[in-house]
Amino acid sequence: MVISLLISFQILSQTFPDYGIFHITIGLIGTAMFFPLIPIYPLINDGEWLYLLICYTSILFGVILGNKARKSQR
Mean pLDDT, the chain, whole residue set: 79
Distance CA(13)–CA(27), nearest Å, equals: 14
Predicted structure pTM score: 0.48
Which pLDDT band holds residue 35 (cuts at 50, 70, 90)? confident
